[in-house]
Structure formats: C-alpha cells, structure tokens
Structure 1
Amino acid sequence: MGANLFYMPHGISVDPDNNIWATDVGLHQVMMFPRNSTTPSLVLGEKFVPGSDASHFCKPSSVVVSRSGNVYIADGYCNKRVVVYDTNGTYKTEIQGDWSVLHSLALFEQEDTLCIADREGRKVDCIGAGIKNPQEFGSSVLEAKNIGRVYGIAGHGSTLLAVTGSDTGINPGGIILDLADGGRVINNWGTDFNNPHEVAISSDGKTFYVAEIGPNRVRKFELVPSKESFYYRD
C-alpha cells in the first residue's frame, strides 16, 4: 500500500474503529484509510502546499483519534500546533503551545488528556484534550522536562512510554513515565537502541512495538509489571 500515493510518509496510527491514519510531511497531508482499504476515504491538507490555516498543514507528524470522534493532528515541524477535526474532516479548533517540534501524540481519553512529544524541546507536554470538558482544551496538565529528544510516545492507564534519540550526554533509549505521579520517570529500558523513532502499545497494555530508523527494524516487547516498577522483555 502507498505506491504513487505517498511522498514522505511519517506517522501511522489506528483509530478505535480500525481506520488507519497516516501523515505525509512531504505532501503536507493527512490521510484516513478505512479498514482493509488501500484508498483513502479522507484526505486533509492540500498536496505539496504548506500552510497554517484550517485546510493546510506544514509537515504534519502524528495523529490520534478519540472514541468520541476528535481527530488530533500534530502539525508538528513548522506550525507547532495541534489541530482538531472530526472524523468527517470538519475543522473544530486548534492550539499553539510552547513547543519546538511536535513529533508524536498520545491520548488518555478517560483522563481527558493529550500528551505531546516535543522532540527539540526535550520534553513531554500534557494538556487538556477537551473531550469531557471542552473549556479545558489546551490547559496545562503536566510537563516532563529535560528527558532528551523525545521522538515517540504511547500510553496505557497512567503509564506513558517514550523513546528518545541521541542527545548531549544522553544515549538513545526508552523511558516509562507515571502521569499519576507528575510525569516522574519510573524506569529506563531499550538501552541497546540505535535510532528509535516511534513507539506503539497494544490496547491491553501488555505489548509494545518500537520502530527504529538506521537499523530499519521494528522490535516487539512485552511490558511486565513487577512489585516496584516495570521491566521489559524483548
């Protein structure tokens, strides 16, 4: 899938209805593919035309979709904003924040919280998702700062998994943050990563996957609780 369709695909995610969402930073577009389809039923953004309004993006990087039908798009490299649509592609609202490069998103729907991996800001920033309380959309929930260049994040329960790339004094790897404890880092993992770029977690929270560029591989892990924290098994 994707021949003669993508130019520089970047992010991929699956929504609660098993539709596939893909971002293309070269086309400046976001596409939605229904389950078992190789043709997008929804395309947001104008092909090869960057912009910053309701119908244009500039290098969108990531998408997450709520069960209630909010589509959150990290318009991520140039515009430094999160744009919200419904699943029909109707623009709803957006927020700009103190972000450098929005590289990945994670949604905690029960907590009405959206987390943003700010890669060059070296932090994870969590804000109100505005699902249950629209007036709280964009309000600050917590910040986890100085944790390295955060490329990918994924969440389950109150746990946030993150993968970080090489940075000054920090080797590539993975971290686990507890959002219920102010974003405290409770474990490190993936010390043998070379260039992790994204992470995804299963709906039951027991399995997660890390995509690395450079080695060009996807690795599968199991998340196993212990008495004190968590550990992973490759």
Structure 2
Amino acid sequence: MVPKLILLFGAVAAVVAAIPPESQAQREYEDELFNRIRQLFSSRTLVQNEEPEQEIDTLSSSPPRPKEVADWPKQPLDVGQITAVSINSKGQPVIFHRADRIWDESSFNESHIYQHHKDGPIQKDTVMVLDPNTGAVVSSWGSGLFYLPHGLTVDRHDNIWLTDVAMHQVFKYSPSHKFPKLTLGERFRDGYPRRGRVLLCMPTAVAIASTGEIFVADGYCNNQILKFNAAGGLLRVMPRPPEFLSLEVPHGLALLEQLDLVCVADRENMRVVCPQAGLRSSSYSEYASPPATIQAPDLGRVFAVAALGDLVYAINGPTSPMIPVRGFTIDPRSEVIIDHWEPSTGFSNPHSIAITHNGSYMYVTEIGPNKIWKFEMIIDN
C-alpha cells in the first residue's frame, strides 16, 4: 500500500506543478489535495517509522501554562523596539533591540534596499544580557555593528546568531563577540541563493540544531527556509517541489528535534507550519510526509514560535479587531491549539518568544510598547 501511496503523491505533485504558480486556482487546489493526502498519511497502517504510542511525550495532556511574573523587570529598560529574545546557558535572557531606530514605510524601497544606510550603524549597544531575577542589564554590546536588528538566537554553546534585515545578513558571534565567526549573505545585497553564492533578502530568524545544522528564515522577500551545514554550506531550500508548502513571510522558527520538525511562524498565511527538518538522515526524501499545519480562525498573524518538548508556544500580532493578540499552546502532532494565554493587561505588539532550557520560564518581547514580559510555566495538577 505504501508504494502505491508514494506514486499517488508524486502524481499529484506533477498535476499541481502544471498549474501557474501564482494563480488562485493553485492555492485552492493545493489546499484540497493537501487535506486529502494528509488523511491518507495519517493512517497508522501507512506510517512505517511511527514511534510506539507509549513513547510519545505526555506534555500535551497537561501542558505548562504561562503565568505572568508581576513587576518584572524591576526597573524600566532603556531600549528601543525589542525584536528578539533568546536564553543563554546561564538561564539569562538575551535581547536584541533597535535603540532609537525604527522600521517604517520609509525604511526600504520596492527593491528591498535599505534607505537609511548613510546614517550608519546604530551607535548604542543593541544586544543586552539581563538578570533573570531582576531584569537588570548584566552586560551589553553591539554598538556600531547593526542597522536594523531583527532575529537573535543563542545556541547551546552560547554562540549568538543575529539577523539584520537592512544588511540582508546573518551573523554568528562567539561568546567573546569581537568579530563574527560566520556570516551568511552579502552586505546590503539582497537576492536568492544561486551558483554557490548565498544571498538573502531580509532574513528574520535562525534556529540551530544539536547537530550544528543551521536553519534561516529568509524572510520578508524570498519566503523560504534555508538549511545550512555548520560551516555555512547550503544543504536545502524549503519549500522545493514536490513539497506542498507555500510560505508568506516566515517570521520565526522553532526546532522540535524529537519529531524531526522545524516549525515556522508563517505570518501572513496566519498559521504555524512544521515541515520535516531532515535531521535524521543525510538526504531529504522527496516523498516526505506533508508538513503539520496549524490554522484556526483566531490564530491571526503568527509572529514567533518556541519549542518545549513536543509542543510549540506561539504568539500572534495585530491582525484585525476581531482577533485578540495573545499566546497559543500548540500540539503539532494532532495539529490543534490546546490552550490560549496572555498577561493580565494583554499584549499590544509582541514580536518574539523564548523558553528557558529547563522549561521553567518564558519571555515575550514587544516592539511598541518596547517591553519584555516574564512568565512562569505552571503545570496544573
């Protein structure tokens, strides 16, 4: 039965590929086929590598619920738009902010060229390490390096990965952060990877696997995910036919290595989508299972995602007066939202989310008001 299903999947891919790529007909056709094919693949008799049921993480039966930590930080932070937060090995939140610089309609032209590069880089420190108990600034750096900060990820070795949408680049800094150890993209040059060159276009986020592989959300223009090896060699572009996946501003990333998924905050498609990360094999199968897709009427524009076990915690942003701005707890295996949460006074414009390595605390940042929230992760008995 499985070989027949694979042949069916390949045939469907060929049919969809024959439809003009930008047509509304293709979107509707893909959606219908996508649902039918997922139903076929979901049958346990057709899944060869499914883990035993008893080994599945039970977090989803009683998922930790974020509870706001009152009066944190103890003192206001002198920051601009806080675009990203991540956690280092000491459990300290590390934030990326824009100081006095903002992103508005004058920042880029129609060709994605940054219009204020003559102003030079931001002269204030843009990366701050905070005390997890008080929120006070422990250390800071980054002055004179960045033009328009966006994404920040701290890996397990405390390397800091940063994206700058103005420069169209991704940078890896060691804990000493004097010079980047690795740079992806070319300075102020947007484009699409080709002929051995890595060109990016306003990259938004980075996720680092325990294997060292690098995932980059590339981003506002290219609408794709790029997978690199640890040295920065391009391994894969997502999506690529016959994948049933169309991204529109992939804005955040979270790796669920146990499930071999990379979950994407697919912002303008108003969903979370989790294609296979391809970490369990040296090559990606063109007959891989369709991505898990979480979409609901109240999900809105999803700005960021974070992983905790086999769960995804997500935040949306302003979408419409009918859709509240809040957080979501998602089980990608069942493709459902299992909880909603928010602080007592509500969110305004959240932009990033991070969870501590031990799963005890969560941080959410906003870009207006320029604020960081701390939540304790509570399991109800």
Same-fold status (TM-score > 0.5): yes
Report the 3-state secondary structure (helix = DSSP H, G, I; strand = E; otherwise coil) of the residue aligned with 2:294.
Answer: strand
Q: Which residue, 266, 284, 288 being the options, matches 1:135?
A: 284
Report the 3-state secondary structure (helix = DSSP H, G, I; strand = E; otherwise coil) of the residue aligned with 1:120.
Answer: helix
The one-letter code matched in structure 2 to 1:178 is D
**Partner of residue 45, structure 2:** none
Distance 1:139 1:35 in 2: 38
What's the CA shift for 1:139? 4.6
Report the 3-state secondary structure (helix = DSSP H, G, I; strand = E; otherwise coil) of the residue aligned with 2:180.
Answer: coil
The alignment status of 1:171 with 2:356, answered yes or no, reads no
Distance 1:136 1:220 in 2: 40
Distance 1:38 1:216 in 2: 27
Q: Which residue, 145, 148, 165 being the options, matches 2:295?
A: 145
Identity of aligned residues (%): 37
Q: Report which of the two has the higher share of strand.
A: 1
CA-to-partner distance for each residue in 1:165-211, whole Å, 9 max, x for gaps? 1212112111111223x221111111511111010111111211001
Q: CA 1:173–1:73 in structure 2 vs 1: closer, same or farther (change >3 Å)?
A: same
CA-to-partner distance for each residue in 1:85-129, whole Å, 9 max, x for gaps? 122212222112311110000001121110000111000000100
The one-letter code matched in structure 1 to 2:148 is M
What's the CA shift for 1:136? 4.5
Distance 1:108 1:136 in 2: 19
Q: CA 1:173–1:38 in structure 2 vs 1: closer, same or farther (change >3 Å)?
A: farther
Q: CA 1:218–1:38 in structure 2 vs 1: closer, same or farther (change >3 Å)?
A: farther
CA-atom RMSD in angstroms = 1.5
* Structure 2 contact 274–292 (Cα < 8 Å) conserved: yes
Q: Which residue, 14, 18, 35 being the options, matches 2:175?
A: 35
**Partner of residue 226, structure 1:** 380
The alignment status of 1:22 with 2:193, answered yes or no, reads no
Q: Which residue, 166, 191, 205 being the options, matches 1:51?
A: 191
The one-letter code matched in structure 2 to 1:113 is L
Report the 3-state secondary structure (helix = DSSP H, G, I; strand = E; otherwise coil) of the residue aligned with 2:191.
Answer: coil
Q: Structure 2: which 5+ runs fail to align?
A: 1-140, 240-244
The alignment status of 1:155 with 2:307, answered yes or no, reads yes
* Structure 2 contact 294–332 (Cα < 8 Å) conserved: no
Q: CA 1:136–1:17 in structure 2 vs 1: closer, same or farther (change >3 Å)?
A: farther
* Structure 2 contact 185–198 (Cα < 8 Å) conserved: yes
- Pairing of 1:84-123 with structure 2 (within 5 A): 84-96=227-239, 97-123=245-271
The one-letter code matched in structure 2 to 1:123 is R
* Structure 1 contact 106–155 (Cα < 8 Å) conserved: yes
What's the CA shift for 1:39? 2.1
Q: Which residue, 195, 201, 214 being the options, matches 2:355?
A: 201
The one-letter code matched in structure 2 to 1:68 is T
> Which of 1 and 2 has higher RCO (CA within 8 Å, sep 6+)?
2
CA-to-partner distance for each residue in 1:17-53, whole Å, 9 max, x for gaps? 2110000111000000011324211111100000001
Distance 1:16 1:61 in 2: 20
Larger Rg: 2
Distance 1:98 1:141 in 2: 11
User: For this pair of structures, how many residues does the alignment match?
Assistant: 226
User: Is 161-170 or 133-142 further displaced after alignment?
Assistant: 133-142
Distance 2:290 2:143 in 1: 40
Q: Structure 1: which 5+ runs fail to align?
A: 228-234
Q: CA 1:142–1:44 in structure 2 vs 1: closer, same or farther (change >3 Å)?
A: same
